Amino acid sequence: MKFSKDSILVKVGSSLIASLGVVGTIWGLLTDIKLNFLELAVLVVVLATTIFVYFMVRRSLSHQIIASEDIFLFGIKEKQKAKILFPCNEKQYRLANKLARDAFGKKDSLSFEAVNTWRKQNPYILSLYLDQNRKVAGYFDVFPLYEDFEKKLATGDYDEHDIGAASMYPFDEMHKCTTVYIGGIAVNNPETYEGRKNGALLVRAMIDYIQKFYIINDDLKISATAVTKCGSQILKRMGFEVEVDCSVRKDDHDYYSRTLSKKELNDILQMIGKLDKYIDLSDYQSFLKKQRIIG
């Protein structure tokens, strides 16, 4: 659910007015002023309104899946940028693996030994996220899967535990890839304001990554499994649809996908808002320049 500055101000203003009413009422009680039936009814309405507004504000915040730029105006300075670390070394892969285990549990995450086989095949699938205090706060990984493997992953014959080095393109062949799989995207404390803010920036970074490494043609298929309710909401918000229902898949998770063109990518960027000024994505550009992939 998106909300604008105006709607937040209305809610905050309502809370303040209701709070003043409560304070006035309590003051009246403390000064031994007797309440008649009408005054008691007003007290009940004021208290109920305050509680209702409080929970509505909390509900709006808890359902903020991909934040627009508005939410950042309340708690972030432009000079305090988050940062994406890329490419990642073995130690950083270990940190991301711990984040995945904490976020998804052992059932829906892999051991570092398995992750390390991915790294050796293609070390450029992972991006690590540092928050404004330069602390590791999230990650995402995107796999350039071979088309035959992705089809079996979609139908449910395979799940993420079956992804190995032979399942994905090596770095020097990534440009041939027509289907990528979002292995995981997670931030610390996603239920908090900081977590949602970091999550929005991480999604923005992932789109930048896909744009720079994969959007060559207009028919890139992007897929993902929704392990959590929040993950399902994010995918739906970005235009993904269920390709294969969880009931027929090995891992019991819905399999989402969409085909992304350059135009559709720009549409997603407009939906999220211009968050570039809040996150440093320069590692991608620097890496590609070193590889002489771009000018």
- The DSSP call for residue 188 is S
Residues 195 and 258 in one domain: yes
pLDDT at 71: 41
Of the listed ranges 133-137, 187-191, 214-218, the least confidently predicted one is: 214-218
- The verdict on residue 94 lying in a domain is yes
- What percent of the chain has a predicted confidence (pLDDT) above 90? 40
Kindly tell me if the per-residue pLDDT of 91 is higher than 90: yes
Q: Read off the pLDDT of residues 103-140 as tens digits, 9 standing for 90 and up.
A: 888 887 888 898 999 999 999 999 999 999 999 999 99
- The verdict on residue 72 lying in a domain is no
Residues 16 and 134 in one domain: no
Q: How much is the average pLDDT of 24-44?
A: 55
Q: How many residues does the chain have?
A: 295
Alpha-carbon distance 78 to 281, whole Å? 14
Residues 128 and 206 in one domain: yes
Residues 225 and 285 in one domain: yes
pLDDT at 264: 80
Residues 202 and 98 in one domain: yes
Domain that holds residue 32: 5-62
Alpha-carbon distance 17 to 12, whole Å? 9
Prior bond to 144 cis, omega within 30? no
**What CATH number is associated with residue 161?**
3.40.630.30
pLDDT at 33: 52
Mean pLDDT of the chain: 78
Closest alpha carbon to 42 in 25, 19, 28, 29: 25
DSSP secondary structure, 28-52, as one string: HHHTTPPP-HHHHHHHHHHHHHHHH
3-state secondary structure (DSSP) of residue 204: helix
Q: Read off the pLDDT of residues 231-280 as tens digits, 9 standing for 90 and up.
A: 888 888 888 999 999 999 988 999 999 998 888 877 777 766 667 788 99
Pairwise pLDDT comparison (33 vs 273), residue with the higher score: 273
- The verdict on residue 73 lying in a domain is no
Tally of structural domains, the chain: 2
- The verdict on residue 15 lying in a domain is yes
Which positions ≥6 away from 215 have C-beta within 8 Å? 260, 262, 265
- The verdict on residue 68 lying in a domain is no
pLDDT at 105: 84
Half-sphere exposure of 10 (CA within 13 A, CB side): 7
Residues 98 and 244 in one domain: yes
